A = this chain, B = another copy of it.
């Protein structure tokens, strides 16, 4: 079987953050699969087919790409950010495990990209400079009680927390509820960073505090970083503040 599937991270969205490895893998493909707006970021190439699908169709998209690769094509699946972080690589693996046995013989490669939390963190300083965790706030794929339990465990142990998929039309209350839960454990002044569409034209970055963090600031394109009790804000005259988490923790903290 000569077909292959590359699952490719496009990074935050600007071509300047697409790695040469990802650009080469996109160029080499016979067929591109992905969520429409991600596919739109990839320059057109003659002879390459495009198969756009909707946001919520990851399973069907992964299966279609695998079927196409199994026919002998070089197929590329595009993913925003990094394909391994709340994106298409896991969806592809799920289909390989449950699907046609022939799919296990395909040449499958994952090409990493700059995931949203790294892009947002870079914009404000180094909020992920110490131990941190990354969670999806979507309760489509896991129960809300588990999400609250994880938020409590992470905050209680001093992790900085990056929140993916914070809000959507179908999930309007989850982010507010998460802030409420975190306020039970973290100081009111804990820095909260909202990074929206970072790396793209519509980029906005807001630094707030947990006490007054407003969920309505966020949308589907927003990545949120909630600091730990160690996270600090450096005021700078005439410049945006820096937000960072020191590398060290003193004994007894």
Cα of A96 to Cα of B236 in the assembled complex, Å = 10
Chain B min CB distance to A241 (Å):
10
Copies of this protein, total: 2
Cα of A142 to Cα of B5 in the assembled complex, Å = 42
The answer, yes or no, to whether A201 is at the interface (CB within 8 Å) is no
Closest to A115 in B: B118
Question: With A21-B17, A105-B237, A150-B159 in contact, is A126–B110 under 8 Å at CB?
Answer: yes
- Describe A's contact surface by its main secondary structure: mixed
Closest to A245 in B: B90
The answer, yes or no, to whether A239 is at the interface (CB within 8 Å) is yes
8 Å CB contacts to B: which residues of A65-114?
A: 82-87, 89-94, 96-97, 104-105, 108-114
The answer, yes or no, to whether A215 is at the interface (CB within 8 Å) is no
Q: Which residues of B contact A122 (CB under 8 A)?
A: 82-84, 89, 109-112
User: Which A residues fall within an 8 A CB radius of B?
Assistant: 11, 14-21, 24, 58, 82-87, 89-94, 96-97, 104-105, 108-115, 118-119, 121-123, 125-136, 141-143, 146, 149-150, 153-154, 156-159, 232, 234-239, 242, 244-249, 251-253
Q: Which residues of B contact A15 (CB under 8 A)?
A: 20
Q: Which residues of B contact A11 (CB under 8 A)?
A: 19
Chain B min CB distance to A200 (Å):
13
The answer to whether A247 touches B121 (Cβ under 8 A) is no
Residue contacts A-B, CB under 8 angstroms, 24 given: A11-B19, A17-B20, A18-B19, A19-B114, A20-B20, A82-B114, A84-B126, A84-B127, A89-B121, A89-B126, A97-B234, A104-B235, A105-B236, A105-B237, A110-B123, A112-B118, A128-B134, A131-B135, A141-B247, A141-B248, A143-B252, A150-B158, A153-B153, A153-B157
